[in-house]
Amino acid sequence: MSDSFSLLTLNCFGLFLPNTRRRLLALAEELEQRSNQVVCLQEIQLHKYRELLVNTCASYPYALHEPYFHCPKGGLLTLSRIPITSQSFQPYAERGLWYTPMLLDKLFYKGMLIKKLTWAGIPMVIINTHLLANFAGDWERHGMYARVEEKQLQQLAETVRVQPADSIVIVVGDFNISRGSRLYHDFLANSGLTDPLTGDIRPTLRPPSGIPSRYALPLDYVLIRMPDTPSFKIDCDLCFTNKYRINNWHQDYLSDHNGIEIRITTI
């Protein structure tokens, strides 16, 4: 068994748009060349995109999603090169209001995709999630979006707290809250998770043209809880920050988000 474990997370911007298929194919081909044991993807909004990713990422034989009528529930897909010992999906009890832009989040049935595996003899829990979009850019619990996010974060924290103490717990995804906000600090305190990139202000969202630059913030995370023993070395950094070849004549970013990669090594 390898003494190093690596995971990559990315909101892959899998909306029904003209160039999505070509871009996701380029993403899948890039993932095939990487050494990550687990990949967690968010915002896959059609089953045909999920199938493209799963089929192209043939070296990840364990693909986890929760079936839904038009896409994976929550738009979540987890790919693994390590066998999965158990899997589950937990929907968020609070998913917003029907008569607001939160309707889209309700339709995608957002929640937590939870998988358990064993690495180097150590039990591991990986939670892939995508929280409510915060269109107001308010992360201080004042607006209607922030209040729903707070409830989702409370449920997520409760899920983390009940995981066995001897397990490595990794929670990843697009949280739609900014690093350093009140919601961020409250969640870390309530969940017992730590942020390997704490204090890092590099944005993970790359706002499209016409969207205010104030939304270019770190909104995606890899958060961890480590058992007391053994000792580990943690390395974490952004990835997919540059443009890639999408086809023979075009280069572009693989998503409107940057990815995050974490590597855990026993020492």
Q: List the domain range (segments joined by +) for residue 145.
A: 4-266
Q: Output the pTM of the full model.
A: 0.96
Number of Cβ within a 10 Å radius of residue 157: 18
Cα distance between residue 173 and residue 128, in whole Å:
6
Nearest Cα residue to 186 out of 214, 149, 221: 149
Q: What is the CATH number of the domain that holds 189?
A: 3.60.10.10
**What is the helix (H) or strand (E) element at residue 154, kind and residue range?**
helix 144-161
Cα distance between residue 219 and residue 212, in whole Å:
15
In a structure prediction context, what are the per-residue pLDDT tens digits for the chain, which is 267 residues long? 468 999 999 999 999 999 999 999 999 999 999 999 999 999 999 999 999 999 999 999 999 999 999 999 999 999 999 999 999 999 999 987 766 667 777 788 999 999 999 999 999 999 999 999 887 677 676 788 889 999 999 999 999 999 999 999 999 999 999 999 999 999 999 999 999 999 999 999 998 777 777 779 999 999 999 998 778 999 999 999 999 999 878 899 999 999 999 999 998
> Into how many domains does the chain fold?
1
Q: 44 φ, ψ to 5°? A: -100, 105
Cα distance between residue 169 and residue 134, in whole Å:
26
DSSP string of 6-71, one letter each residue: EEEEEEEEE-S-TTHHHHHHHHHHHHHHS--SEEEEEEE-SHHHHHHHHHH-TT--EEE----SSS
Cα distance between residue 177 and residue 213, in whole Å:
15
